[in-house]
Structure 1
């Protein structure tokens, strides 16, 4: 274990699981890094029945608590190793909440496939999901999912394999794997969406970030064709948010033409090389 360079804790995104990060695990484990992941509750590889996958009942915050507790376990398990957090998509928002507790202890955060606050969309999502939760309780809220991903493929040109998930990656095989996996792309309950939008609307509270360690290394990465990051605009807004709060070690990179899942993109080796270099500097 002494030859290991450090620990990377992955916080995954919506409607997916550990298997979506196989390229990430392989690349970094081959280069003497320890890669760990605690999958979220009510997700496919948690061995729950198909009927329960995605069905939250006022326990969204447990996902955040689980990641915080997992970091504590990693600190006990690897007391002499630096710990880095890699948060993707929904996991990138959870990582930034996680940051409010660990800005002194964690060596750095990678915020991947993220965005700064979208007040109109997030408030609309909160109002609609709250209404649906009162009416349908814990039924799946497909209308909210459609709202979230309404324009995801808007700028994606069709090819010989094109479907509703094409916005995820230019790698057709990765899009196929996601589309054919019953533990990916599922619709959550209205309770999940309600709590998710409440969480998002509170996330970027300047006062909570103001008191954090301003020397904390933060790397923000996204594809220039990622709809979640508003094709780079929301990503640059996020970079400015941290810089305005006087965080001193902020790096941001947009990968030309890449889409949402950088770790499953056709240029993933380039992305991994950049992440490795960033680790080595921090």
Structure 2
């Protein structure tokens, strides 16, 4: 949600930190003076989303009360949804449907963004696109790229990417979307993706997101030793990060190393992760097969 007011962009650094995964930096550097009311809401939105990214769901739930603006209410809904399966998720989904049916707030770009994120978690990509496809902000366009890639529709993802490039080719989200698109397409595009992540690492604070991006590129290029080094560096930054653990599992399998410890960490910290679910399902099938011949 970019500010529509003229003049200096006071939130540029905060946005870049958030989008590149430097969540604690975003929180620490959020005391920005002389913000307009609109910019103050965006600042608070980025801070609370940073807390969510760090897993501090309850802090967000506790701090955002019923008098907060719609964007912050939407972010609180995301925190409730992510706080755990069961009643909390069902309640969040119910509230989301109710809010999206309210014409007074349904078109709020942050509410539409949160709807897209939640329905992506639900793997209901068509429903996500109902709320994100019309775009309106760089974040919504970037989310559209992600959704289309999840749907294996790189043709539609490329159209969204071209829209972003026409708006601002150098925007952090445009570059990230371009890197993700290149990774999905593969082939010669992998080197281009690597160069984007390398450019980020040259310009900005090294984060788990950047390290994972470079590592995935290295794995695609068959450079598994390089990938392992990058992923272990990412693990030092966050020992419970789901993507780091999942990428380490894949990397170690290619290197012929044991990945059981990383599997255990992933299943304990992120039991709903796709790799953890697949592993558990395979173990269940194996157990049933053993019992059937016992």
TM-score bin, normalised by smaller chain? under 0.3
TM-score (norm 1): 0.27
Structure with bigger strand share is: 1
Structure possessing the higher radius of gyration over alpha carbons: 2
TM-score (norm 2): 0.26
Q: Which has the higher contact order (CA 8 A, sep 6+)?
A: 1
Structure with bigger helix share is: 2
